[in-house]
Amino acid sequence: MELDIIKREDPQVGELIEKELERQQNTIELIASENFTSEAIMAACGTVLTNKYAEGKPHKRFYNGCENVDKIEELAQERCKKLFNVGHANVQPHSGAQANMAVFLYAVKPGDTVMGMDLSNGGHLSHGSPVNFSGMYYNIISYGVDENGCIDYDEVEKLAEEHKPKLIIAGASNYSKIIDFKRFREIADKVGAYLMADIAHIAALVAAGVHPSPAGYAHFITTTTHKTLRGPRGGIIMCDEEHAAGIDKAVFPGLQGGPLEHIIAAKAIALKEASEPAFKEYAKQVVKNAKALAQGLMDEGMDIVGGGTENHLMTLDLRKFNKTGKDIANVLEKVGITANKNTVPNDPQSPFVTSGVRLGAAAVTTRGFKEEDMVEVAKIIASAVTASDNEQALKNLRERSLKLCQKHPLYKDMRH
């Protein structure tokens, strides 16, 4: 990272970036949607590609001088198609939410009925929340999860038959079970709906074969590239050839202007990394680490929604301690653990307070944490919950989490 150059030009911004580097190095990152990219990926984001306008598709651009970015974007597309075994990939969406928006724009009309998972049950804002465009312009029917945090597929089927949606969304931001894409497709076929699989959270697990793939079941697959997939911030849409032209048109000119070719180059690198054997090991370790964390927490007397996890994340249920997600997320920050408050199924608290904390294992796995480290993390979390008012105890826990960070250094050769 060219931190020295930034600090010379703009010390204020440079020093804040340096502080952020130190924060990432010295805290345990359990936010389930975050990760640490390779230095090559970060470097690509800071290249001359940021200077280039390239509206359109490779070889069909509205500007000249695109011969290099054309090849970069094609590399990203080809690598994505191969990795996820799909017919077409649009690598231009600036984010996961914009990838989803493009599918809405292509597949449904304002006022049409769309089914998605309810936000407070683990769905994403862009799956029909009333405060998001998806909830404002479409007739949203939401499905949820049961007490064990499982999707009730019979209930989804019943709702679909009753409301006849044009689009069904399978995918979530806080769901710790395997998603049955085959069953979702059967339900979609029954009512003549399109199926969109949003694999933003589980993309790496799908790429590595650790979670069943929606390829062959979903008409559209959307993802972010910066969560488990460990690339730059951004989105991707995948589909069959049949929908390729329509999806491309929805992204540009439908929603976006010029694509971010520096980010697309970084996506290409991430997709290359994701096709290598070491990535498969990483994805497997993510699941092992998540399971070790869940088990460790339960061994310490904590409750996990659904009694464990089948993927990279889980929700700590704090109801029996009479503590809120908001308070405990702040306590965890004091002991050097970053996580976010999250609702539990049928949460008695508001979404701003909540009774749960979402915990993910992807970022710590990237920096080298193994099962025994996750057990120590579990012990730190459990002690922080029970000793949340004891400042000295929290200080000691902060020391323990710092030790774990020092055991697994992050970006240690980064110049600063």
Ligand X SMILES: *Cc1c(COP(=O)(O)O)cnc(C)c1O
Enumerate binding residues for ligand X (CB under 6 A): 33, 95-97, 100, 124, 126, 171-173, 198, 200-201, 224, 235
Nearer to ligand X, 175 or 331 (CB): 175
Nearer to ligand X, 79 or 124 (CB): 124
The torsion of the CA quartet 53, 59, 64, 66, rounded to 10 degrees, works out to 60
Nearer to ligand X, 116 or 345 (CB): 116
Q: Which residues are catalytic?
A: 53, 55, 198, 224, 227, 233
Nearer to ligand X, 34 or 300 (CB): 34
Q: How many helices (H) and strands (E) does the chain have?
A: 16, 15
Residue nearest to ligand X (CB): 96
Give me 293's structure tokens.
């964390």
**Closest alpha carbon to 159 in 124, 191, 123:** 191
Q: Measuring CA to CA, how many Å separate 49 from each of 5, 44, 265, 338?
A: 18, 8, 8, 33
Nearer to ligand X, 124 or 398 (CB): 124
Q: Which DSSP state fits 151?
A: B
Nearer to ligand X, 194 or 401 (CB): 194
Residue 96 C-beta: closest distance to ligand X, Å: 2
Query: In whole angstroms, what is the distance from residue 382 CA to residue 375 CA?
Result: 11
**Closest alpha carbon to 17 in 34, 44, 42:** 42
- 36 within 8 A of 227, measured Cβ to Cβ: no
- 267 within 8 A of 77, measured Cβ to Cβ: no
Query: In whole angstroms, what is the distance from residue 258 CA to residue 252 CA?
Result: 8
CB-based contacts of 153-159 (< 8 A; 24+ apart in sequence): 153/180, 153/183, 153/184, 153/187, 156/115, 156/184, 156/187, 157/187, 157/190, 159/115
The answer for 349, left when phi > 0, alpha when psi is -120 to 50, beta otherwise, is beta
Residue 54: strand pairing partners: none
Query: In whole angstroms, what is the distance from residue 31 CA to residue 36 CA?
Result: 12
Nearer to ligand X, 6 or 97 (CB): 97
Residue 17 C-beta: closest distance to ligand X, Å: 21
- 314 within 8 A of 359, measured Cβ to Cβ: yes
